[in-house]
Amino acid sequence: MTADQAVADTQAVEITRKDLNKVFWRSLSIMASLNYERFLAVGRTYIMLPVLRKLYKGEELKKTLHRYLEFFLTHPYFANPIAGIQIAMEEERAKGAPIDEDAIRGVATGLMGPLAGVGDPLFWGTIRSIIGGLCASLALAGNAIAPFLFVILWNIPHYFVRGTLLYKGYDMGMGLVKEFRETGILQRITEGASIMGMTAIGALVALWVSVKFSPLEFSFGEAVFNVQSLLDSIFPNMLPLGLTLLLASLLAKKFNVNLLIIILIGIGLLGAFLGFMA
Amino acid sequence: MFLKALYVGIVGGVLSMDVYGWGTLAAMGRPVVLGPILGLFMGDFWTGLWVGATIEFMFLGVIPTGAAIPPDATMSALGATALAILLGGDRATAIALAVPLALLGQLAQVIVWQVNAFFLHKADDFAEKLNLKGIENMHYTGMFLFFLRGFVPIFLGVWLGVEPVQNFMNALPEWVSPGLGIAAGLLPAVGFGMLLNMIGLKRYWPYFLVGFTLATFFSVGIVPIAILGLCLGFVIVTLKSMTQKPSEAEAF
């Protein structure tokens, strides 16, 4: 597509407080379309729709929708500050600022891992254990206030992250965008975010992808081999790494995603049925 | 019993959707909140309060991280509360069923996440046709599936009674649930594979290996690795701009 077409498909309009409010209300249900392949992809596209349909149309809207339907996984509450920054960037981009698609994408891929790393232990670990422990003890003592107390105490930090940080992210995004323009550091930010994202993904593969053989043992004469511990002694997490790289290369060759997923589920069921995986 | 099961099932389904559905209060899915509320609807607030609090303690340490699905405290609390009240306040039986119910809930969760992947691809198609309503509907469909995840087991559990629930759990081939668990470990690799292609593995592979190595061999957590990644990105970019365009580096 030429630059002229891109301009024709964008609309230089202000994103108002009202639009941000729409995004906020939608963001509450971000988890509703959670799936194993791209996790919050549909959810965040749903959240961004009020803004995207205002800024883009035609081919440009199509491209943007596909851009948001990409892999996205973070703590559900912390998806909002990311959305705030991205809204600001989309708005400036639609107004003709030289903001690369990769820069907007980089905000999500660069921030989602670290924000999940903050959000999961903070909310599910610290805050929930404290409030849950407190309210459950009150409830066991026969105090009817306990469930209501839990709802109130939980929703103070909840709405701070989802509400306040959405609007803050938007304001900050505007500031960031201005800075990009004045100093021309956009490309550098994009590259920096790619490096950060890549480093984080490397860690996420090690932490979240799990491929394990059962403690299978083969014996050759006196020697006994345990497949998994043998593999681990060469290179722990070698199978998750190998699987991820294999899938990346298959996907790069336009291998059918659905088929890959069905094959993986089949391997899982077969692995449990025959007992060679755990 | 059918109408009662329908009523309890709908209340339970709606309550269970809080985290994975409407998300407004985002605390309703916790046993200590959900037990007494379901109890209120079923006419026995105090049994609900006790069951909910007891299960809250049981699952206090069960924390979901990233893509992993832990045993489901929400479904456990819903099922156990409903059963305790239907059994006329039999708290002991309800608590005995807490863990099997949590595992059943976990299984239901895995199924919904997998079925939703189908609607994800539908959403891709709708994006291609610029059908925005269609994308929204795919999101609402997921919401409805999460309603069913709460509704179906509770409805069946209450309608059929306690015994068939246990029999069904026992009758399920014992490899199905672990098999889906294994698949759950494999499937995130698809998403990461896509992300690697998107950012560009050819250009950025060393950073990928740095993150992987730190997590694997040094057991470094995701937050320090991300901070390191941020610093790496900053240093590389600064160095590059210093060697290539000194004038721009000054402005920076």
Averaged pLDDT, B222-247: 79
Q: Across the interface, which of B185, B195, B211 has its CB nearest the CB of A203? A: B211
Residues of chain A contacting B226 with CB distance shorter than 8 Å: 113-114, 117, 196, 199-200, 203
CB B89 within 8 A of CB B99: no
Using alpha carbons, select from A233, A248, A239 the residue that is nearest to residue A267: A239
Domain-ending residue, one of A204, A219, A238: A204
- Res A1 pLDDT > 60: no
Which residue range forms the structural domain that includes residue A215? 210-274
Per-residue pLDDT tens over the stretch A145-174: 999 999 998 999 899 889 988 998 898 885
Together in a domain, A156 and A61? yes
C-alpha dist (Å) from residue A218 to A215, A274, B186: 10, 16, 25
Per-residue pLDDT tens over the stretch B81-102: 998 888 787 777 777 777 778 8
Per-residue pLDDT tens over the stretch A222-231: 666 677 777 8
- Quote the minimal CA–CA distance from B191 to chain A in Å: 5
Per-residue pLDDT tens over the stretch A105-120: 988 988 888 778 777 7
Q: How confident is the model at residue A246 (pLDDT cuts 50, 70, 90)?
A: very high
The whole-angstrom separation of Cα A66 and Cα B94 is: 47
Domain-ending residue, one of A158, A189, A204: A204
Together in a domain, A72 and A25? yes
Per-residue pLDDT tens over the stretch B125-148: 999 999 999 999 999 999 999 999
Q: Do B184 and A116 touch (CB under 8 A)?
A: no
Q: Do A203 and B113 touch (CB under 8 A)?
A: no
- The chain-wide mean pLDDT, for chain A, equals 84
Q: Do A195 and B176 touch (CB under 8 A)?
A: no
Together in a domain, A133 and A220? no
ipTM of the assembly?
0.73
Backbone angles phi, psi at B198, to 5 degrees: -65, -50
Domain ranges of chain B: 2-177, 200-251
Neighbour-count burial for B158-176, b at 16+ CB within 10 Å, e otherwise: bbeebeebeeeeeeeeebe
Q: What is the pLDDT of residue A58?
A: 92
Together in a domain, A100 and A220? no
Domain-ending residue, one of A204, A237, A259: A204
- What percentage of chain B carries pLDDT values higher than 70? 87
Residues of chain A contacting B235 with CB distance shorter than 8 Å: none
Residues of chain A contacting B68 with CB distance shorter than 8 Å: 208
- Quote the minimal CA–CA distance from A215 to chain B in Å: 15
Q: How confident is the model at residue A278 (pLDDT cuts 50, 70, 90)?
A: confident
The whole-angstrom separation of Cα A274 and Cα A106 is: 42
> Which carries the bigger pLDDT value, residue A15 or residue B160?
A15
**CA of B222: which chain A residue's CA is closest?**
A117
> Which carries the bigger pLDDT value, residue A92 or residue B170?
A92
Together in a domain, A68 and A110? yes
Together in a domain, A138 and A171? yes
Together in a domain, A67 and A186? yes
- The chain-wide mean pLDDT, for chain B, equals 83
Together in a domain, A11 and A134? yes
Structural domain count of chain A? 2
The whole-angstrom separation of Cα B70 and Cα A189 is: 37
Residues of chain B contacting A200 with CB distance shorter than 8 Å: 211, 222, 225-226, 229
Q: What is the pLDDT of residue B199?
A: 75
Q: Chain B contact for A167, CB < 8 A?
A: no
- Res B64 pLDDT > 90: no
The whole-angstrom separation of Cα B156 and Cα B6 is: 9
Per-residue pLDDT tens over the stretch A47-77: 999 999 999 999 999 999 999 999 999 999 9
C-alpha dist (Å) from residue B141 to A25, A72, B13, B229: 18, 19, 14, 37
Q: What is the pLDDT of residue B249?
A: 41
Angle subtended at Cα A152 by Cα A151 and Cα A158, rounded to the nearest 5 degrees = 85
Together in a domain, A164 and A249? no
